[in-house]
């Protein structure tokens, strides 16, 4: 392989981030529903934190996916 960063574990790494994304989305949904019933400040902070974490995990999954499927540019 041309790039030493690319190996067979990129798919595995992406699947780990998929699991973390699923957990973050679940926590985000739970806190959003809880905030709808009880307007507590810590729930709003949790919504922001889990929303940011969800976005981060999507970006990490995309990065690993791109690394496991390199593009070849031919002249």
Domain boundaries defined on the chain: 10-68
What pLDDT is recorded for position 47?
97
C-alpha radius of gyration, the chain, whole number = 17
The token duo for 49 is: 């934190």
pLDDT bin (cut points 50, 70, 90) of residue 73 is: low
What pLDDT is recorded for position 69?
72
pLDDT above 90: residue 11? no
For 38-63, what is the mean pLDDT? 95
What pLDDT is recorded for position 32?
97
C-alpha–C-alpha distance, residues 51 and 39, integer Å: 18
């Amino acid at each position: 392989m041309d790039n030493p960063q690319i190996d067979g574990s990129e798919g595995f790494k992406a699947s780990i981030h998929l699991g973390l994304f699923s957990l973050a989305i679940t926590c985000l949904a739970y806190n959003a529903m809880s905030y709808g019933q009880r307007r507590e400040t810590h729930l709003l902070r949790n919504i922001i934190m889990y929303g940011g974490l969800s976005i981060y995990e999507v970006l990490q999954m995309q990065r690993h996916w791109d690394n496991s499927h390199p593009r070849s540019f031919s002249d």
